[in-house]
Structure 1
Amino acid sequence: MLSRSSSLLTVGLLSSAMFMSANAIAHNADDFFVRGGLAYVAPNESSDVVLGDSELEINNVLKIGATLTYMKSDNVGFEVLLGLPFTHEVSLKTSGHVANVSHLPLSVVAQYYFADSDSDIRPYVGGGFNYTTFLDEEGVGALASADVSVDNSFGYAIQAGIDIDLNDKWFANTSIWYLDIDTDVHVNNFPVNVPPIKTTINPLAFLVSVGYTF
């Protein structure tokens, strides 16, 4: 559903761009630019079965997201994914809501921008690495008495997006990220022994934003 909405948004931005005056996006060598907007994070989670109940289920969240980019050349850039911590509810099928966990993903990617630097529309792809820090872990419900912690994770990150010129400084953007996040969840100080829970999160992050070139 969201992926379809993201595609429709991209088509809408492309259509709107056809009616704009020809102002070049300043994605040239040595430029810096920022993008800021809404990020929708949808985990593709799987895990070990917990307490004979089910695998962990992690909800989707909507937050503010931002990126900072430096153009090494007219077509090659380096980007950092920024933002506020994303807080998710963690559930089990039978036990319901059992934990709250926040994570802060730091992703750095190298990008390739298609089309010339004076083009009004510039699609791009990128790839790099992601380091995710988990914080504010809290057991609730069936795990309210437990000490819940989550190991930090290091993995890869890939992205694709498109920038559409609004004027010589401002541009619209839509992009999608895939982050490789594998971790172990620990449940301590609980009446029943719970071994480390191997968990894969691997979220898709959809970002709709506005950018500004310095």
Structure 2
Amino acid sequence: MNTRISLLAAASLAFSAGAQAQEQSFSLGIAQVSINSKASDLRGPFTPAGANLKVDDATTLVFSYTRRVDDRFNLELALGLPPTHDVQGKGTLASVGKIAEVKQFSPTMFVNYSFAGPKATLQPFVGVGVNYTNFYGGKSTPAGSNASGGPTSITLTDSFGLAAQVGLNWRIDERWFASAKIATAQVKSDLTSNSAGLIRTTTIDFRPVVFAVSGGYRF
């Protein structure tokens, strides 16, 4: 929680220092989070060869705050309502089905460049930035605990990585706009499961692709 607060505070300072008295906007929409996860086989005592897992996609609400620096550049803080991802068994664990679930909080700061001026009706843009992902609320399902040999707790490490996006803003009028964008980020985490002292680990490369559509208001 302290890391989350520190990140948001830093973002607030960056926006304040970077673009005083410039146009600002808020947007709210919906996003499809495609995980495309790839994990190493689980490691640990009494772990069958080829035991693996994959993380399912999720849909969530997203919102962002943007502050324009000049006619082409703006700073954006993108957030989402933390989605819950199901974790499925894979390889020799495929028959188990859903073995766990986890939530993730992943604010991302972007520097965006618009290919059109602020008065253009259509404003294509690209952005680069930094993503922070915090995983929490990990818990094993009864089937997952049974396959692991008993009650199981699950933790995942946080992740920092580069992020990029491409999108299009449609200027409806002076205040209102609609937006569509596709974003991705480098997200990698070490997962640890503890089944009554029996420790198993794996590293997951999440490789998320997020498609979002939203509506926004400038002021």
Asked if structure 2 preserves the Cα contact closer than 8 Å seen for 1:138 and 1:147, the reply is yes
**RMSD of equivalent CA atoms:** 1.5
Q: In 1, Cα distance between the equivalents of 2:210 and 2:125?
A: 16
TM-score, reference length from structure 2: 0.80
What pairs with 1:34-113 in structure 2 (closer than 5 Å)?
Answer: 34-50=26-42, 51=47, 52-92=49-89, 93-113=94-114
Q: In 2, Cα distance between the equivalents of 1:135 and 1:153?
A: 12
Which of 118, 124, 143 is the matching residue for 2:145? 143
| 5+ residue gaps, structure 2 | 1-20
Q: In 2, Cα distance between the equivalents of 1:65 and 1:102?
A: 15
Cα offsets for 1:104-123 (capped at 9, x unmatched): 00100111011122211100
Asked if structure 2 preserves the Cα contact closer than 8 Å seen for 1:46 and 1:55, the reply is no
* Runs of 4+ residues deviating >2 angstroms: 50-55, 189-193
**1:73/1:183 Cα in 2 relative to 1: closer, same or farther (>3 Å)?**
same
Match of residue 13 from structure 1: none
Match of residue 171 from structure 1: 177
Match of residue 203 from structure 2: 198
Question: What is the percentage of aligned positions where both structures have the same residue?
Answer: 26
| 5+ residue gaps, structure 1 | 1-28
TM-score, reference length from structure 1: 0.82
How many Å apart are 1:55 and its aligned residue?
Answer: 2.7
2:161 aligned with 1:155 = yes
Match of residue 24 from structure 2: 32
How many Å apart are 1:129 and its aligned residue?
Answer: 0.5
Cα offsets for 1:2-37 (capped at 9, x unmatched): xxxxxxxxxxxxxxxxxxxxxxxxxxx811011111
Query: How many correspondences in the alignment?
Result: 185
Cα offsets for 1:174-207 (capped at 9, x unmatched): 001101100100011347542x211100110111
Supply the AA of the counterpart residue of 2:212: L
Supply the AA of the counterpart residue of 1:206: F
